[in-house]
Amino acid sequence: MQYQNFRGADLKEALSAVKATLGPNALIEGTRQISNGRGGGLGHSYVEVTAAPPAGLKWPYANREAAAVETPLRRREPRGQSAFGRGAKPTPSLIRDPSEIERELGMLRQMLNELNESRPPKERALTELHAAGIEGALARELANGATKVARRGREALRLWLNGRIKERLTVTPPMLTDTTPRMIACVGPTGVGKTTTLAKLAARARLDHGRSVGVISLDTFRVGAVEQWQRYASLMGIPFQIASDRATFQRAMADMPADLVLVDTAGRSVHGTAWPLAGCLREISDRKVNVMLVLPAWLRASDVTRVLEMYDDPLPTDLVVTKLDETYQVGGILHAALPNQLPFAYLCNGPRVPEDILDASVDGVLDAVFPSEA
C-alpha cells in the first residue's frame, strides 16, 4: 500500500485534498502540524495528512517508502496586510477559535470511525488491541474469532475483547490480611516504584491491620536509598535492616522480629549481573515468599518481554503495576501477565504513601486497559 502526504493551510483543506484524490473512503494514517520554526511575519505552518487508498488494506498500515504528494496551499496574506491593502491592521493568524479546532477534531474522529468500520473485522479487533498497547502474537491470539462479533459494531467488539482478556486474568488473594508469616520481595528495573510500593504496603499492614512489619533493603547502590528507608521506618515505627549478600541477609532475618518482612532490591540493567536475591530466598523455609515484579503501566510490550528475561531467578510470583496515573495506554503489562499466567497483586495510581495502592481485581485491570469512553 502506498501512503501519500497531502498538505493544506488547515485540516479542512488537507482533508479535502485527500477526498478529492483518493475518495471519501481513504485510509487516514495520521495528521501533523508542520512549521518552519520562525516567528513573526516570517512564520509559516501547514497541516499534513498521511493517507492511502482503501483497497488492498494490509497490516501494519504504514509504508515508509511512499512518495509524498503535495497540494497547493491556500494563499496566506503577509502579517500586517490583508486583502484590503497594506494599511490594514495585523491579524493574529496564529490564534484560532477553540470551537473551530473542536469542529475539525470532530470531523477527523468521524472520518476515522467511518474508515475503521470499513476494515475487515479481524483488523478492527487488532486496531482496538493496538490502541490499548497490546501487540504482536498476543494481539493476534486475542483477536482470533472476532470476525462475527466485529460486524455488530465497535461496542460489541470491545465487550468481546474484554471477555477474552477477562477469562485469562488472575489476581493474588489479599496478602496483608493473611496473618501467615510471609516475606514479600519487590524486583524490577530502576525507577519503577519498588521502594514506594513497599512503603505503601508497610504503612497499610502496620497502621490499618496492626501487623508486625520489618524491612530489609538489598539496595545499597542507589544514592539515598538507605536514608529513604530509615525515614520511612522511623515514621512507621518498624525495624529496618541492610543486607548486601547472602550472609548479611541471613543475619538480618535472624534479628527481624516481624511476621511480615518486606525486601527491597536494587534495579537491574544488565542480564547476568550479580543478583543476591535468589540465593537469599533459597534459605527461607519458615514463611510464605512472594516475589513481586514491579512494572510501570506505560511500559511497551517489547520492553516487558526484555524485563521478564532479566528476572528469571527467582521467578516472579506476582505482578504490581505502578504509575497508572501517568499513561492512557496500559495494555503492555498484559504481555507479562497473560503468557506467563502471572497474577496481578496490586495496582498503584500515584506516589502517595499509603493511599495510592489498591488490591488488584480483574475488573480493575480491565478498566485500566480498556477505560470507559465518554
Domain assignment present for 374 = no
pLDDT surpasses 50 at 65: no
Burial class of 8 by CB neighbour count within 10 A (0 to 12, 13 to 18, 19+):
buried
pLDDT at 94 (0 to 100): 53
Domain assignment of residue 350, yes or no: yes
| Domain end position, chosen among 167, 196, 227 | 167
Say whether both 239 and 128 belong to one domain. Answer: no
Question: What is residue 21's predicted lDDT score, i.e. its pLDDT?
Answer: 79
Residue 309 has pLDDT above 60, yes or no: yes
Q: Say if 305 falls within a structural domain.
A: yes
Please, which pLDDT band fits residue 1 given cuts at 50, 70 and 90? low
Q: Are residues 217 and 342 in the same domain?
A: yes
Instruction: Give me 306's grid cell.
Output: 526484555
Provide the pLDDT confidence category of residue 275 given band limits of 50, 70 and 90: low
Do 50 and 4 form a contact (C-beta atoms < 8 A)?
yes
Domain encompassing residue 162: 120-167
Same domain, 135 and 261: no
Q: How many domains does the chain fold into?
A: 3
* Residue 45 backbone dihedrals phi, psi, to 5 degrees: -145, 160
- Is the same domain home to 193 and 145? no
| Interhelix angle 121-131/154-166, nearest 10 degrees | 60
Task: Determine the Cα–Cα distance for residues 367 and 158; give it in Å rounded to an integer.
Answer: 12
Q: Is residue 173, in this structure, part of any structural domain at all?
A: no
Q: Are residues 298 and 314 in the same domain?
A: yes
Of the listed ranges 6-15, 137-146, 289-298, 321-330, the one predicted with least confidence: 6-15
- In a domain? residue 319: yes
> d(Cα 318, Cα 137) in Å, to the nearest integer?
22
CATH at 315: 3.40.50.300
In this structure, the answer to whether residues 109 and 125 fall within a common structural domain is: no
266, 310: one domain: yes
Same domain, 56 and 189: no
How distant, in Å, are the alpha carbons of 62, 95, 205, 258 from that of 287?
A: 53, 65, 17, 11
* Cell digits of residue 251: 543475619
Residues 161 and 246 in one domain: no
* Cis amide prior to 60 (ω within 30 degrees): yes
Sheet order of strands, 4-8 included:
4-8, 45-52, 27-35
Strands 288-296 and 260-264: unpaired
Q: Show Cβ contacts of residue 254 under 8 Å, excluding neighbours closer than 6 positions.
A: none
Measured distance CA(124)–CA(321) in Å, rounded: 28
Q: Is position 174 within any domain?
A: no
Is residue 159, in this structure, part of any structural domain at all? yes
Question: Is 47 in a helix, a strand, or coil?
Answer: strand
Q: Find, among 283, 269, 276, 261, the residue nearest to 198 by Cα.
A: 261
Percent of the chain with pLDDT over 90: 32
**What residue type is 141 in one-letter code?**
E
Does residue 217 lie in a domain region?
yes
Indicate whether 18 pLDDT > 60: yes
**Same domain, yes or no, for 337 and 206?**
yes
Strand partners, 45: 35
The better pLDDT of the pair 263, 93 is held by 263
Task: Return left, alpha or beta for 56; rule: phi > 0 is left, psi -120 to 50 is alpha, else beta.
Answer: left
